[in-house]
Amino acid sequence: MRNLWLRIRPFGCCCHCYSCIENRHVQVRRLSVAIARFRCGRGFPPLLNDSFWTSSRETLVMRQRQRFQSGGAVKKEKCHDQEQVFENKEPLFQAGSGNGLPTSVSSKAADHIRREEGGQSDTEKREKKLKEAANDLRSLSIDHWSLEDVVTYEPMPGGATPPTVPSTTKADPKYMMPQSPWAPDHLKRQNYARVWTRKKIAKMETAIALFTVRVCRLLELNSQRPSNLIVLPEAIRPFARLPAEDHEYMEQALKRHLGILRNKLGFVAPHDPPHAPEEIDVFIPKYEHFEDGLHHELLRDLNASLVELFEGYKYLHLDFRTLMVKICHNLLVSSAPPNVQTMNILLLGFYSCDRYLTLSTSHVRHLVLDWLIDICRTVMIRPNEITCSTILATYRKRGMRDAFVDFIFLMRGMGGDRALMYTKDLTITRESAPRLSPTKTSPTVFKQAVYPSPMIFAEVIKGVAKFYTLEDAVAVCKEFTAKEWGYDWRCLHYLLNACIIAKDWQSGLWVWDEIKAFRAAGYEEPVRILAAMLALCVQCEQEQMFNDVLEYSAKQLRNISKAAFVDIATEILERAVDKMNDDELAALESRFTKGKSVERLHEQRAFEASIRRRLKDDPVFKRAVFGFGYDVLSEEHRRKKPQRESEHNPQGIGRKLDEQQKIVDVEDMNEVLLAEEENDVTRPGKDTKHNLLQDAEGGIDVDEDNTNSPSSPDRGKGHEQ
């Protein structure tokens, strides 16, 4: 226990759970709300002769040809190297960063150096991220959001409002979702005054218990020694002590009880739901909504603790196993049920892990994301723009086409009797009629669609353009805009880039008409929009349109130089050519692979079973999941230090690795494992059972003091009343 304490002490108990919070009113660092609008500087001549148009077009054409020639040569060389790799089947080992440290550790050292030199660190630059996001293209994509932004722009009365961007939506802001960060204060007060029914609270309690059972089963906590389980928080111990067969039985029992609570036909009373069976009732947490609004204060503490956990995971203070255990512990001991703000933090936290951790364990995080999405849909938490955008983005990046389309139907209330939100006893007006549709089972219950938001519409366009064709994306735009949906400049810029890559001139003309209509509404085009249209003219060899666009740009952008404008168009064209080369190279590589694409991997129903099977059969993948994901040593390091891994790192995998050891990039873990199997290399510490199942001195990095976590005056240890 002394060694365990020494390991936790340097981190200052960074979980920030309720027992660690001395003052319940946690002051959350807020970001600035003001957004610097982009204004072009003066310098574009008002009158230009014909030689200017000719020279500009010839410059772009010449650079495009040079790019095609150089890109083709590089592509042929890459294809030649790829053929040699697959023909010879020789494993490739890629070294890590130059200093041999993980990416996040190197970034922290770089931050310290920049501070000493008088520069800004990455943390300080983060406060300007949303300003830069809305600077040029005036968009707030979900990829630009961080957990600090979600906490700062919490939809609470009198709270900060995120910056708005111009869009073509025709929906009335008075009918915006009350849980939206952009909602007016009177709608936010209406949202805060809502008190969940006992039935909805019971669904959330059962869903959190089911989530905890799944996590404990995934992490194989039941395989730990009893001495290791002692250091677990008291709320987690009953789940961890269950045998493997009882875990499966408990999961099925919770699903059955959740199915009873989800009954939509009215057989379950909203304020008197059936009690859970005795065998699962002791595992279900107890939540409560208070008439005086005390649960909002408790939820702010819970959300702050979750943000601290993800920060600890980001900077390698916590490994994945400890992160999941602490998240489940904080959810179980809370007195208030998680709300949409809590789910947004969890969804965005796991979705944004790929920004700062290049791990091969992304499939495990995707599995956790699926469980969180299942909670949102089961409990029917009213989502906002952040919730829908994060879910659509994760489906798009993972290649889950069917799930992506199904979620769009749910958002629009077109999934039969399924929807994300229901409402009843409502008077339908002309403004609310487009987003309401009656259900087949009950004429008094209406399916409610989400509010038309350009933030969500941008993810819809990206997904349709990825899974289908550009013509389908244009058709979806026309159909959505006819029903009050609107796009911002970012959507139009993405469509123009897609037209450049596909060399689709007709779709590009339609986008150009939409740009001019947007301009007629009084919104000034960003520079990159006009530069992208100029690049499309060169790509499709439209000389007359090139001259018209350049002349139009000269009138609109009176404060940017000719050279700067042409350079921007050239950069956009070069990126499009690179994307075309990458697509061709990926198609060529698919001929040499076994055909197991990522899209098909995520579309299969047995995704969870495949993850469990890989955790059982793949020791490298297992060490990466249960540790930091950086404990795979390079070939050179194994030759220099052949001792067992337990001797090299006696404190266990929950500890940060020695900064002097050289690390192989974790994306190449599968190649390392393949090389060991083909070359019959016996890796030091091959028996991972001893390395993973450790004693209490080097076990799971969880503090036993977290068990004393009263989250309300009537709350004791764990989730017991």
512-550 pLDDT per residue, tens: 888 888 887 777 777 888 888 888 888 888 888 888 888
Q: Kindly state whether residue 346 falls inside one of the protein's structural domains.
A: yes
Judge whether residue 601 has pLDDT over 60.
no
Domain limit, last residue, from 364, 382, 400? 382
pLDDT of residue 119: 52
CB-based contacts of 591, cutoff 8 Å, min separation 6: none
pLDDT-derived band at 587 (thresholds 50, 70, 90) equals: low
Q: Kindly state whether residue 447 falls inside one of the protein's structural domains.
A: no
As given in the structure block, the two tokens for residue 509 are 């003309």
Q: Kindly state whether residue 344 falls inside one of the protein's structural domains.
A: yes
Q: Are 638 and 683 within 8 A, CB to CB?
A: yes
Mean pLDDT of 490-511: 88
pLDDT of residue 558: 67
pLDDT of residue 494: 87
Judge whether residue 458 has pLDDT over 50.
yes
Q: Does 214 share its domain with 338?
A: yes
Q: Are 17 and 718 within 8 A, CB to CB?
A: no
Tell which wins on pLDDT, 179 or 551. Answer: 179
Q: Does 336 share its domain with 206?
A: yes
Tell which wins on pLDDT, 481 or 70. Answer: 481
pLDDT-derived band at 268 (thresholds 50, 70, 90) equals: confident
Mean pLDDT of 481-506: 86
In three-state secondary structure terms, 429 is coil
Mean pLDDT of 181-188: 88
Q: Kindly state whether residue 218 falls inside one of the protein's structural domains.
A: yes
- Nearest to 170, CA basis, from 582, 461, 487: 487
pLDDT of residue 72: 52
Domain count for the chain: 2
Separation CA 624–CA 651 (nearest Å): 16
Q: Kindly state whether residue 153 falls inside one of the protein's structural domains.
A: no
220-231: pLDDT as tens digits: 888 888 877 888
SS3 of 252-267: the string is HHHHHHHHHHCCCCCC
242-267: pLDDT as tens digits: 888 888 899 999 999 998 888 765 56
DSSP calls for 352-387: THHHH---TTHHHHHHHHHHHHHHHHHHT----HHH
Q: Does 512 share its domain with 373?
A: no
Q: Does 363 share its domain with 502?
A: no
Q: Kindly state whether residue 87 falls inside one of the protein's structural domains.
A: no
pLDDT of residue 178: 86
What single-letter amino acid sits at 400?
A: M
Q: Kindly state whether residue 112 falls inside one of the protein's structural domains.
A: no
Q: Kindly state whether residue 211 falls inside one of the protein's structural domains.
A: yes
Q: Does 361 share its domain with 494?
A: no
Q: Are 61 and 567 within 8 A, CB to CB?
A: no
CB-based contacts of 721, cutoff 8 Å, min separation 6: 286, 714, 715
Question: Considering the chain, what percentage of its residues have pLDDT values greater than 70?
Answer: 58
pLDDT-derived band at 680 (thresholds 50, 70, 90) equals: very low
Question: Considering the chain, what percentage of its residues have pLDDT values greater than 90?
Answer: 16
Q: Does 335 share its domain with 203?
A: yes
CB-based contacts of 567, cutoff 8 Å, min separation 6: none
What single-letter amino acid sits at 51?
A: S
Counting Cβ atoms within 10 Å, is residue 634 exposed (0-12), middle (13-18) or buried (19+)? buried
Domain that holds residue 510: 488-589
Domain limit, last residue, from 589, 624, 658? 589
pLDDT-derived band at 125 (thresholds 50, 70, 90) equals: low
Q: Mark residue 118 as left, alpha or beta (left: phi above 0; alpha: psi -120 to 50; beta: remaining).
A: left
Mean pLDDT of 27-46: 31
Domain limit, last residue, from 589, 606, 639? 589
Tell which wins on pLDDT, 713 or 509. Answer: 509
650-667: pLDDT as tens digits: 333 233 323 333 333 333
- Provide the terminal-to-terminal Cα distance of the chain, rounded to the nearest Å: 29
620-650: pLDDT as tens digits: 777 766 664 433 333 333 333 334 333 333 3
Judge whether residue 20 has pLDDT over 90.
no
CB atoms within 10 A of CB 293: 11
* Distances, alpha carbon 328 to alpha carbons 208, 297, 659, 718, in Å: 8, 20, 31, 11
pLDDT-derived band at 489 (thresholds 50, 70, 90) equals: confident
pLDDT of residue 98: 35
Q: Does 354 share its domain with 502?
A: no
pLDDT of residue 368: 92
